[in-house]
Amino acid sequence: MHTVVVGTSGVTAQDVVAVARQGARVELDTGALDALAAARAVVDALAAKPEPVYGVSTGFGALATRHIGQDLRAQLQRNIVRSHAAGMGPRVEREVVRALMFLRLKTLASGHTGVRPEVAQTMADVLNAGITPVVHEFGSLGCSGDLAPLSHCALALMGEGDAEGPDGTLRPAGELLAAHGITPVELREKEGLALLNGTDGMLGMLVLALADLDRLYTCADITAALTLEALLGSKGVLAPELHAIRPHPGQAASAANMLRVLAGSGLTGHFQEDEAPRVQDAYSVRCAPQVAGAGRDTLAYARTVAERELAAAVDNPVVIWGEPGTESGGGRVESNGNFHGAPVAYVLDFLAIAAADLGSIAERRTDRLLDKNRSHGLPAFLADDPGVDSGLMIAQYTQAALVSEMKRLANPASVDSIPSSAMQEDHVSMGWSAARKLRTTVDNLTRIVAVELYAATRALELRTGPATGLTAAPASRAAIDALRAAGSQGAGPDRFLAPDLAAADAFVRSGALVSAVEPHTGPLV
């Protein structure tokens, strides 16, 4: 287990994945601790003054007009956490909760939130102990940050609410903190607000989705190549010079991946003697690099947005300190709108659109493999004895159902806004909702690619061997062998199909497909 060190300048996407999925330990560096102390000094100086300061000595949102006396400020901070921990619905996944906690810690460490160093350290301790607060599906509008999800996490830092221990058992958070020697935090001025005012949930889900989609786009290039090969298609459309004259980088990358997979194939461009030569392959085969490539370019843009947000300090109000001549020990507290989730929400929706189209074209290729009128000599539905056997008929139904749901999920969440907080928060991003539907989209895309993989490998088995005298590319053969070794069986009479598809899904999801072909292709992108 490695350690991720958090400083004042943000974190990387790799850091987020390591903490969220791999349980990496978290440490605050000395620069972050110094910045936390300096910002806290500004808040303490302002808290001692009679003038009201938002987030320090006032109520919140539409209640910001009330000045809060010093005797009620600790209660104010506790109350905002308790009242805002109002989520409902199913529990959010452990990796998402760990990501959002780590990203909130990243902003705390920037030195712009005004919390004491011990508050940030407690959050790091909770992460390192493997304690995961219970966060619910519904409660965030993606403006003023992911308020309800972050509030449930802050509640656990106070020793309240429920959390999951490292053994997976659900217990009261106070018991789990005590079992790991962690003292609950006693919140002071601004600290409750600082713990729940950020885009950390939607950003965490964006970073995790980008990691998954990076793998899936490579897998989709592989499965598209296998389908092209099984359909005896032409690899001439993958020539680098064709993609150089339309210089979209994602398109060139996808075409290059496919060409590497097909190197050494005895099937591409081979037409049956009794069939009129094809001039062109169908769009779903011929335009695979264009569609996948556009998605890759969408990923690149989303990655740029994520990198900017990972370097950001998202809070309201923020502490600006170290400026000569300013009040309160060289600093000030300023309200702002940086918590608004629009930049993240837009790319979450954009990714869902691109992924839906990638799933759609993969399904069309699968359908072509199964249709004897369009598969150029393959048996109907890739069945062993068509009529007696149904082959992969219903596997394509499943794939089509997944595509249909992805199309519904591609409807953007970020165009919606329901005003809240007595019209103070009158335009919200719905970024959390965009992130939640993207997670479902990524899961569906994984299954769709797995079905195409299963169909294409079965088609290649039927197309090659001593009976035909045709051979698949070495990379294709490696993919078939690895998939079969993973428990997804090949061609033959009908059998219980769901386990084969589940094995193919796990094979794609784990990255094993890419690992199987790269010894023959070299590194794929």
Nearest to 332, CA basis, from 10, 33, 38: 38
In 257-323, the DSSP E strands lie at 318-321
Beta bridge partners of 524: none
Sign of the four-CA dihedral 408, 411, 413, 418: negative
Tokens of 501: 């598809």
Q: How far apart are CA 298 and CA 345, in angstroms?
A: 14
Which of 54, 217, 283, 301 does the annotation list as catalytic? 54
What CA–CA distance (Å, rounded) separates 277 from 39? 73
Paired strand residues for 6: 28
- Residue 112: closest CA among 307, 304, 323, 308: 323
CA atoms of 188 and 74, how far apart (whole Å): 5
> Listing from the earlier edge strand, what are the strands of the sheet with 132-133?
132-133, 162-164, 170-172
Half-sphere exposure of residue 143, counting CA atoms within 13 Å on the CB side? 19
Structural tokens at position 256: 């290059």
The CB density around residue 327, as the number of other CB atoms within 10 Å, is 12
**Token pair for residue 438?**
């993207």
54 is catalytic: yes
Distance CA 57, CA 47 (A): 7
For the chain, helix (H) and strand (E) counts, in that order, are: 20, 9
Q: Is the peptide bond before 523 cis (omega within 30 degrees of 0)?
A: no
Residues 227 and 467: their CA atoms lie apart, in Å, by 20
Q: What does the alpha-carbon distance between residue 488 and residue 500 come to, in Å, rounded to a whole number? A: 4
The first and second tokens of residue 509, run together, are: 């999801």
The alpha carbon of 208 is separated from its chain's Cα centroid by a whole number of angstroms, namely 3
Q: Are 119 and 42 in contact (CB under 8 A)?
A: no
Dist CA 80 CA 65 (whole Å): 15
User: Beta 136-138 vs 88-91: how paired, if at all?
Assistant: antiparallel
Contact 157, 126 (CB under 8 A): yes
**In 410-522, alpha helices (H):** 431-463, 474-485, 498-509, 512-521
Secondary structure letter of residue 138 according to DSSP? E
* Sign of the CA dihedral running 137, 138, 143, 145: negative
Token pair of 231, please?
A: 């359909």
Rounded distance between C-alpha atoms, residue 190 and residue 204, angstroms: 24
Residues 364, 485: Cα–Cα separation, whole Å: 27
Active site residues: 54
